Structure 1
Amino acid sequence: MSALETWLTIILLTVATILTRSSFFLLGHAVKLPPKVQHALRYAPAAALAAIVAPDLALVDGALQLSWTNPKLLAGVGAAAFFLTTRHLLGTIIVGMALYSLLRVML
């Protein structure tokens, strides 16, 4: 790719990003999403977070490892259990990191 093609690609992708992200602000109330779509969009942040976190917990060196010897997976399960019982986000991070550090040393 030449320098001109690279810059043209960057500029076009920037314009496409700005148009798609600002479309709801520019159009205002002219576009109404159906209630089912609005309901589905409420789950988008959780789904995106799960898509980022789950592979990191389950994959070790690119291979799926769902065993008791995977410290990341065990720490993730422990942190999730802590969060489900307390709903304390900072505590979840602390417990997850402490569990991971302890399990990494032990296993």
Structure 2
Amino acid sequence: MSDWEVWAVIFLLMVATFIARSGFWLLGHRVQLPPRVQEALRYAPACALAAIVVPDLLLSGGVPDVSSHNPKLWAGLLATAFFLVRRNMLQTIFFGMAVFTYIRLGL
């Protein structure tokens, strides 16, 4: 790939990102999303977070690892239980990281 092709790809990706991210802002209130779509979009952040976190908990080096020797899986399960009891996200993050560190270091 030559230099001008690389710069052309970078420019086109920049334009595509700008259009995708500013589409609703540029159109303003002229576009009304159906209520069902608005309701579905409420769950998008949780789905995106799950799509990032769950594979990290279940995979080790790209290979599924659901054994009892997976410290990430144990920390994730215990942090989930902690959140269900306490309902505090910041405490859950600290708790999950403390459990993960404790298990990983084998204390």
Q: TM-score scaled by structure 2?
A: 0.93
SS of the aligned residue for 2:82 comes to helix
The answer as to 2:8 corresponding to 1:4 is: no
Structure 2: how far apart are the matches of 1:16 and 1:61? Answer: 33
- The aligned counterpart of 1:41 is 41
- The aligned counterpart of 1:102 is 102
SS of the aligned residue for 1:33 comes to coil
**Structure 2 alignment gaps of length 5 or more:** none
SS of the aligned residue for 1:69 comes to coil
**Structure 1 alignment gaps of length 5 or more:** none
Aligned sequence identity (%): 58
SS of the aligned residue for 1:76 comes to helix
- The aligned counterpart of 2:62 is 62
Poorly superposed stretches of 4+, deviation over 2 Å: none
SS of the aligned residue for 1:82 comes to helix
SS of the aligned residue for 2:14 comes to helix
Structure 2: how far apart are the matches of 1:98 and 1:25? Answer: 41
* Cα displacement (A) at 1:97: 1.1
Q: How many residues align?
A: 107
Structure 2: how far apart are the matches of 1:105 and 1:7? Answer: 46
* Cα displacement (A) at 1:105: 2.8
Amino acid at match of 1:55: P
Amino acid at match of 1:52: I
SS of the aligned residue for 1:56 comes to helix
Cα root mean square deviation, aligned = 1.3
- The aligned counterpart of 1:20 is 20
Structure 2: how far apart are the matches of 1:17 and 1:34? Answer: 24
